[in-house]
Amino acid sequence: MTSTATPTTGLARILATLGAVLSACLWGTMVWTNAVGPGGESVPPAVVAALLFPGVALAGAVAAWRDAPLVTLIAGLVGMFPVGLYFLPAPGLLKLIGIAPLLTLVAGVLLVRELRRSDP
């Protein structure tokens, strides 16, 4: 699909990219500093989450740049429910783990709205 870049599309792409970068940094930091089990090794479910959620956010950012708004929207939904919602009321930097998928979700909504506007 070919589309012309509008200011809304540019904003959505920036939000999706920011969400992916923020997600990768925060999940990596959380696992590196907090998810340590007995003996100093990382807890396996935390490592899986640290790979899964930034990967989903990265897929949303790539989809935003490749004009696939539904994929960006789905990536935002997958990252937001339930993990993003769980971290939103958390104090401090943990709250940002909830905000990162919210950025991808907002980007997906903006891109879908822009797609619906451009369809005759």
How far is Cα 106 from Cα 32, in angstroms, rounded to an integer? 28
Q: Is 42 helix (H, G, I), strand (E, B) or coil?
A: strand
Note the helical H segments in the chain. Answer: 7-33, 44-65, 69-79, 85-87, 94-118
Does the pLDDT of residue 39 top 70, yes or no? no
Query: Contact, 115 vs 63, CB < 8 A?
Result: no
Phi/psi for 36 (5° steps) reads -115, 125
Kindly report which listed range (20-29, 34-43, 44-53, 96-105) carries the lowest average pLDDT score: 34-43
* pTM for the full predicted model: 0.85
- pLDDT above 70: percentage of residues in the chain: 88
